[in-house]
C-alpha cells in the first residue's frame, strides 16, 4: 500500500548538484581502504581464488541489489536513516520498529570509522615516508621493519589517527557537497592511473602469472564457512552497504536520477579497483618471497618495494599514498554522515556541532585499535585483538545483518508501487530482475552464509 506522501518529501540538508555528483559521492564512499588495503590481504589470508570468486558472486547477487534498495529507501525517506526507516516502516508495513535498521547502521558506521581512521592514518604517514625517500633502494626486510616500527608505536599511530580524524571532522562539518565532488573527480582517475603504472611494474616482476593463478584459477580446496562469510562481509564493506551510509546519501539524491545505472557504475568502479590492487600486490608478494597471508600490513610491506626500485618511485609513491589518503577520507566522510545527520535531526544542533561531537567520540574509540598493534597486542579474546573483534563484528555480522533487513524490507514490505516508483518503471525487465533478487536470491544467500558459518548448515 503506498501513501501519497511517499516520494514527495524533500531533503533537509540540500541536494547533490547532479546525478554525476551523487555517483561521485557514492564512488568516493565505496572506493577506499577496502579495495586497496583490505581486499588484497583478505584474499591472501583466505586462500586466493576461492575468496575472490565468492567475493565476485556476492558483489553481483547481494551487493548490487542491496545498494539499489538502500538508495531507493534513502531517497523515498529523505531523512537520516533512523527516521527514514521509521517513516517508511510506518507507511509500508505499519511498524515503526524498522527504525532499528537505521540504528544498526549508525552503530556500524561509528565502529568501522574507529578503526578506519587508524589505518587511514598509516596511509597519511606513508605519504611522508615516500616523500623523504625512505623506500629508495630498500629491500623487503627493511620495508617490513619500517612498517613494524610504525605499527608498534602507539604514539606515532595515535598521532596520524588523530590527524586523519581531525580532517574528517572538518570536512563533515562543512557539509555534504562542497569539496567532496572535486576530490572524487581527481582521486578515482588518479588512483586508476597509478594502479596501471604499478601494474606495468608488477608485470615485469616475473611473478605476474603466478599472481593471476593465485587470484583467479578456481581452487576451492580452501573454501569453508569462514572464507564464504569473510568474502560476503568484504563485499558489504567495500561497497559501503549494510550500514545505511548509501541510504543517508540517497536522501540527497534528486528525484529524476536513475538508481539502477548509478549503482552499476559504482559497483563496476569499486570491483575493478579491488581486482587491480590484487594484481599489483600479489606479483610483488611472490617475486619477493613474501607471505600472501601476512595480514593487515600487506599493502604497506609490498608497494613500497615497487616504489623503492622503479624510476620516479619517490614521486609515484608519494602520489599513490596521497590519493589513497583522499580515497580513505571520502569513505570516512560517508561513515560519519548517517550518525551526524541523525544527531542534527534528533538533537536540533547544527552540522558543525554534530560533526565535532560524533567525531571526537569516534576518535576516542579509535584508540582501542591504535593500541591493538602495540600496547594491547597481547590482549586477545574471541577473534584476536580488539581491532580484529571490531572488524569481525562490523564486516561479518552487522553489515550482512543490516543488508539482510534492508532487502527484506524493500522486497517484502514495500509495495511494488513504491519501489517501482523510485526505480525506473520503464526499465521493465530490470525492475523484475531486481525484485526477484531482493525478495529471494539476496536474502537467501545472506541467510545461508550465516547458517553455514555458525555450523547449522554444511555448505563447504
Ligand atoms: N567502502 C569503504 C572502503 O572500501 C569503507 C566503508 C564501509 C565506507 C562502509 C562506508 C561504509 O574503504
pLDDT digits (tens, 9 = 90+) for 419-445: 998 997 666 788 999 999 999 999 999
Distance 414 CA to ligand 1 centre (A): 27
- Contact between 253 and 22 under an 8 Å Cβ cutoff? The reply is yes
Buried b (16+ CB within 10 A) or exposed e, 161-185: bbebbebbbebbbeebbeebbebbe
Residue 115 has pLDDT above 50, yes or no: yes
Tell me how far the alpha carbon of residue 139 lies from the centroid of ligand 1, in angstroms: 32
Provide the pLDDT for residue 179. Answer: 65
Stretch 122-130: mean pLDDT: 98
Averaged pLDDT for residues 66-74: 97
What rounded mean pLDDT belongs to the chain? Answer: 93
For the CA of 37, the nearest atom of ligand 1: 12
**CA of 385: how far to CAs of 372, 374, 389, in Å?**
6, 10, 6
200 burial via Cβ count (<10 Å: 0-12, 13-18, 19+): exposed
Whether ligand 1 lies within 6 angstroms of the CB of 237 is answered as: yes
What are the two backbone dihedrals, phi and then psi, of residue 384, each rounded to the nearest 5 degrees? 130, -135
The dihedral region occupied by 384, where left means phi > 0, alpha psi between -120 and 50, and beta the remainder, is left
Assess contact for 251 and 84: CB atoms under 8 A. Answer: yes
**Span 194-212, pLDDT tens digits:** 999 999 999 999 999 999 9
CA of 335 to the centre of ligand 1 (A): 7
Q: Distance between alpha carbon 135 and the CA centroid of its chain, in Å?
A: 28
Length of the chain: 460
Residues 94-109: pLDDT tens digits?
Answer: 999 999 999 999 999 9
Q: Give the pLDDT score at 134.
A: 96
Q: 249 near 29, Cβ under 8 Å?
A: yes
Q: Which residue has the higher pLDDT, 12 or 381?
A: 381
Determine if ligand 1 sits within 6 Å of the CB of residue 112: yes
Ligand 1 proximity of 335 Cβ (cutoff 6 Å): yes
Give, for ligand 1, the residue of 30, 66, 122, 326 to mutate: max count of ligand atoms closer than 8 Å to Cβ. Answer: 30
The mean pLDDT of 344-358, rounded to a whole number, is: 94
The structural domains of the chain, ordered by start, are 19-453 (1.10.4160)
Confidence of residue 4 (pLDDT cuts 50, 70, 90): very low
Residue 289 CA to ligand 1 center (angstroms) comes to 31
**Distance separating alpha carbons of residues 187 and 320, to the nearest angstrom:** 10
> Ligand 1 pocket, 334 CB below 6 A?
yes
Is the minimum distance from the CB of 280 to ligand 1 under 6 angstroms? no
Work out the percent of the chain whose per-residue pLDDT is above 90. 81
CA–CA gap between residue 184 and residue 423 (Å, rounded): 25
Pocket test for ligand 1, best of 26, 27, 32, 400 (most atoms within 8 A of CB): 32
Which among 74, 184, 244, 335 is the best mutation to test ligand 1's pocket, defined by most ligand atoms within 8 Å of the CB? 335
Distance 33 CA to ligand 1 centre (A): 7
| Atom number, ligand 1, closest to the C-alpha of residue 33 | 12
Between the CA of 219 and the centroid of ligand 1 the distance, in Å, is 28
Q: How far is the CA of 30 from the centre of ligand 1 (A)?
A: 5
The pLDDT of residue 430 is 86
6 lines ligand 1 (CB under 6 A): no
Question: What is this structure's pTM?
Answer: 0.96
Measured from the CB, is residue 30 less than 6 Å from ligand 1? yes
Residue 299 above 80 pLDDT? yes
| Ligand 1 within 6 A of CB of 320 | no
Confidence of residue 1 (pLDDT cuts 50, 70, 90): very low
Quote the pLDDT of residue 6: 47
Q: What's the pLDDT score for residue 381?
A: 97
Residue 460 clears pLDDT 90, i.e. is over it:
no
Is any ligand 1 atom within 6 A of the Cβ of residue 235? no
User: Ligand 1, atom 6: nearest CA belongs to which residue?
Assistant: 240
Apex 82 CA angle, 77 and 88, nearest 5: 35
Handedness of CA 240, 343, 260, 27 (dihedral sign): negative
Specify whether the CB–CB gap between 176 and 14 falls below 8 A: yes
pLDDT score recorded for residue 177: 64
HEC string for the chain: CCCCCCCCCCCCCCCCCCHHHHHHHHHHHHCCHHHHHHHHHHHHHCCCHHHHHHHHHHHHHHHHHHHHHHHHHHHHHCCCHHHHHHHHHHHHHCCHHHHHHHHHHHHHHHHHHHHHHHHHHHHHHHHHHHHCCCCCCCCHHHHHHHHHHHHHCHHHHHHHHHHHHHHHHHHHHHCCCCCHHHHHHHHHHHHHHHHHHHHHHHHCCCCHHHHHHHHHCCCHHHCCHHHHHHHHHHHHHHHCCCCCHHHHHHCCCCCCCCHHHHHHHHHHHHHHHHHHHHHHHHHHHHHCCCCCCCCCCHHHHHHHHHHHHCCCHHHHHHHHHHHHHHHHHHHHHHHHHHHHHHHHHHHCCCHHHHHHHHHHHHHHHHHHHHHHCCCCCCCCECCECHHHHHHHHHHHHHHHHHHHHHHHHHHHHCCHHHHHHHCCCCCHHHHHHHHHHHHHHHHHHHHHHHHHHCCCCCCC
The three cell numbers of residue 20 are: 554525476
192 CA → ligand 1 middle, Å: 18
How large is the C-alpha radius of gyration of the chain? 21
Kindly tell me if the per-residue pLDDT of 174 is higher than 80: yes
Residue linked to cell 559497483: 267
Find all residues with CB under 8 Å of 335, minimum gap 6, and list them: 109, 112, 113, 116, 243, 245
Please check the confidence at residue 80 and state whether its pLDDT lies above 50.
yes
* d(CA 287, ligand 1 centre) in Å: 30
Q: Which ligand 1 atom is at minimum distance from the Cα of 270?
A: 4
User: Which residue owns the Cα nearest ligand 1 atom 11?
Assistant: 240
C-alpha distances in Å from residue 189, one per residue of 26, 395, 404: 15, 27, 32
Digit-coded pLDDT (tens) for 216-274 = 999 989 899 999 999 999 999 999 999 999 999 899 888 888 899 899 999 999 999 99
The residue written with cell numbers 536513475 in the block is 258
245 lines ligand 1 (CB under 6 A): yes
Amino acid at each position: 500500500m503506498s501513501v501519497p506522501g511517499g516520494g514527495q518529501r524533500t531533503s533537509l540538508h540540500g541536494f547533490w548538484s547532479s546525478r554525476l555528483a551523487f555517483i561521485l559521492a557514492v564512488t568516493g564512499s565505496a572506493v577506499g581502504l577496502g579495495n586497496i588495503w583490505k581486499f588484497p590481504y583478505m584474499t591472501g589470508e583466505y586462500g586466493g581464488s576461492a575468496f575472490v570468486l565468492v567475493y565476485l558472486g556476492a558483489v553481483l547477487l547481494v551487493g548490487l541489489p542491496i545498494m539499489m534498495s538502500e538508495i531507493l529507501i534513502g531517497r523515498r525517506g529523505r531523512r537520516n536513516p533512523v527516521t527514514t526507516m521509521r517513516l517508511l516502516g510506518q507507511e509500508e508495513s505499519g511498524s515503526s520498529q524498522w527504525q532499528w535498521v537505521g540504528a544498526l547502521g549508525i552503530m556500524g558506521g561509528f565502529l568501522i570509522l574507529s578503526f578506519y581512521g587508524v589505518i587511514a592514518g598509516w596511509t597519511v604517514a606513508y605519504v611522508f615516508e615516500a616523500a623523504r625517500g625512505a623506500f629508495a633502494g630498500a629491500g623487503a626486510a627493511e620495508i617490513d621493519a619500517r612498517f613494524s616500527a610504525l605499527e608498534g608505536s602507539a604514539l606515532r599511530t595515535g598521532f596520524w589517527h588523530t590527524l586523519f580524524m581531525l580532517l574528517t571532522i572538518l570536512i563533515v562539518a562543512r557539509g555534504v557537497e562542497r569539496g567532496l565532488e572535486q576530490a572524487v573527480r581527481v582521486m578515482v582517475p588518479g588512483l586508476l592511473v597509478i594502479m596501471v603504472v604499478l601494474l606495468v611494474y608488477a608485470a615485469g616482476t616475473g611473478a605476474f602469472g603466478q599472481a593471476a593463478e593465485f587470484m583467479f584459477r578456481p581452487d576451492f580446496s580452501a573454501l569453508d564457512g569462514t572464507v564464504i562469510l569473510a568474502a560476503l562481509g568484504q563485499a558489504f564493506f567495500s561497497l559501503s552497504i549494510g550500514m545505511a551510509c548509501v541510504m543517508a546519501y540517497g536522501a540527497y539524491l534528486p528525484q529524476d536520477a536513475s538508481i539502477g545505472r548509478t549503482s552499476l557504475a559504482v559497483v563496476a568502479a569499486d570491483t575493478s579497483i579491488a581486482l587491480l590492487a590484487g594484481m599489483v600486490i600479489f606479483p610483488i608478494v611472490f617475486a619477493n618471497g613474501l607471505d600472501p597471508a601476512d595480514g593487515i600490513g600487506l599493502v604497506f610491506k609490498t608497494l613500497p618495494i615497487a616504489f623503492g626500485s622503479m624510476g620516479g618511485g619517490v614521486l609515484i609513491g608519494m602520489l599513490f599514498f596521497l590519493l589513497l589518503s583522499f580515497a580513505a577520507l571520502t569513505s570516512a566522510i560517508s561513515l560519519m554522515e548517517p550518525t551526524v545527520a541523525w544527531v542534527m535531526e534528533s538533537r536540533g544542533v547544527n552540522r558543525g556541532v554534530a560533526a565535532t561531537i560524533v567525531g571526537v567520540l569516534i576518535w576516542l574509540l579509535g584508540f582501542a585499535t591504535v593500541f591493538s598493534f602495540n600496547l594491547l597486542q597481547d590482549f586477545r579474546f574471541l577473534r584476536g585483538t580488539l581491532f580484529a573483534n571490531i572488524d569481525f563484528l562490523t564486516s561479518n555480522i552487522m553489515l550482512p545483518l543490516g543488508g539482510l533487513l534492508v532487502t527484506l524490507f524493500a522486497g517484502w514490505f514495500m509495495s511494488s508501487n513504491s519501489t517501482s516508483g523510485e526505480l525506473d518503471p520503464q526499465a521493465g525487465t530490470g525492475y523484475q530482475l531486481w525484485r526477484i533478487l531482493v525478495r529471494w536470491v539476496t536474502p537467501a544467500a545472506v541467510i545461508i552464509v550465516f547458517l553455514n558459518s555458525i555450523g547449522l548448515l554444511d555448505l563447504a
